[in-house]
Amino acid sequence: MSHQSYLFSPVTRLSGLMSVEVLVEERRIVEANASSTMFRGFEWIMGDRQAADAVYMTQRVCGICSLAHGATASYLLDELYDNELTENAQILRNIMYAADFLQNHIRHFYLFSLPDFVVMPDRPPFHGQNLMDARLNPEDNRRLAGNYFEAVKFAQRSHEILALFGGKAPHQHSFVHGGVSVAPTADKINRAQALIHDIGEFVKGTLIPDTELISRVYGDYYRIGIAPARYLSFGLFKFGSKNERILWRNGVLADGRLTLPQTERIHEDISHAWFETAGSQEPQQKELKPNPSKPGAYTWIKSVRYAGLPFQVGPLARMIINGRYSGGSSTMDRICARSLETLLLTELVQEWLKKLTPGPPPIRQKNRAIKTEVTATTDAMRGALLHSARIVDDKVVWYNIITPTVWNFSPKDAHGQRGPAENALVGTEIPTSDLLFTILGRIIRSFDPCMPCAAHVLDCRGNVEAKMVL
């Protein structure tokens, strides 16, 4: 039986560096390897730093979803120091976090996904667009291409809300342990209300109709890029003095059964990752050694499994677990669920801004640690995010991060199980060879992959050096 291997590298219009190799037999993908060629090194960078630095340092994991790491590190430190949060602090934190979600989701639909379905103007950055399956009529195509440029303004306005209360964006400064260090003054609240009103009108009047149009015209993508229907979410938007209440519930959904996540059931595997260790295939971070020439490995991403199985995370998982979406697990389901979530987020921010009370910075920090090991979880833009740390004398001796893209783009584990994205690719029919990269791109980008994690120093021969840089 004839087969052909194809390499899609680099996969463009996503955050970071990514390559995908697929094996095609009789016009069907029979195997897929998704590779992140960007080294993840923040766990090493955090070593021997003050615990409170985690809020600022881990935000440098990524510029497009930076507050997700700052928020998770803040939750971790809240537990470490036994902080007590005020209601105003929690409302303000969630406004900032939702605003960062909005800029990401708007950018993803228009800047990353739309050129997979719409013929863009023949000018930078679209020279040489290779869209082999354009289906929109000329009028709709012109309108959506114009909305691409409009969307940039509303993503910027979302960031402006974050910057109002966070000091700057990305990599805000005020969402820290114990609350928020910037005062929610009346003028800032009024400005944020005006911004979210405009963003909400754009989402409701433009993004949602555009999503509905794409989903109708490309309706076959409800049957393409299907991943196993196993979903995991750590929940989103914390309330309560101890972060104990979650607005959007957490859950693990498999075989139609919903249970609560148990972090002790999460395991990492480096069988096909460019790491090695003298011990177990589920090592502590400090035991890992980078080895980009390891036989059988093809990515810097480790496999992550819950109860031994791969799980899909992200807006689709959140919306299904919270009863907001009842569709399947396809390419188009992931796109539609993200747009639905975007609309819901605009409504939440408007509601929270009405409840936010002008006043001094709502922050109450304690400075004596009551624990030495802490794990914090929440959902980020792309799905479940976990930070865990071991602290001695207020200094980090071990830090670990499991990001949403590690869940979705896990390589094969020791048992040969593929991660969700690889599973979504396998079985896909490729009608003609010129459609291969169009179809691959649509499936891959529907997961909103985010690869940037750290920079690793290479010498001119490509050998990995021991020095890590920011």
Quote the pLDDT of residue 162.
97
Mean residue pLDDT across the chain: 92
Q: Strand pairing partners for 297?
A: none
Give the single-character DSSP code of 221.
G
CB atoms within 10 A of CB 16: 17
| Cα 403 to chain centroid, rounded | 7
* pTM to 2 decimal places: 0.93
pLDDT tens digits for range 300-326: 999 999 999 999 999 999 999 999 999
CATH of the domain at 351: 1.10.645.10
Per-residue pLDDT, 47: 86
Contact 184, 356 (CB under 8 A): yes
- Give mean pLDDT, residues 2-13: 90
Spatial separation of the C-alpha atoms in residues 238 and 91, rounded to whole Å? 9
Q: Which domain holds residue 292?
A: 3-469
pLDDT tens figures, 104-161: 999 999 999 999 999 999 888 887 888 999 999 999 999 999 999 999 999 999 999 9
Q: At what angle do helices 186-202 and 138-166 cross, to 10 degrees?
A: 160
Report residue 30's pLDDT band, with 50, 70 and 90 as the boundaries: very high
Residue 96: which of 169, 27, 44 has the closest Cα?
Answer: 169
| % of residues, the chain, pLDDT over 90 | 81
Q: What is the average per-residue pLDDT within 432-455?
A: 86
The number of domains in the chain is: 1
For the segment 282-300, what is each residue's pLDDT rounded down to a tens digit? 445 556 788 889 999 999 9
Give me the pLDDT at residue 460, please: 38
Pairwise CA distance, residues 74 & 97, whole Å: 12
pLDDT tops 90 at residue 458:
no
Q: How confident is the model at residue 457 (pLDDT cuts 50, 70, 90)?
A: very low
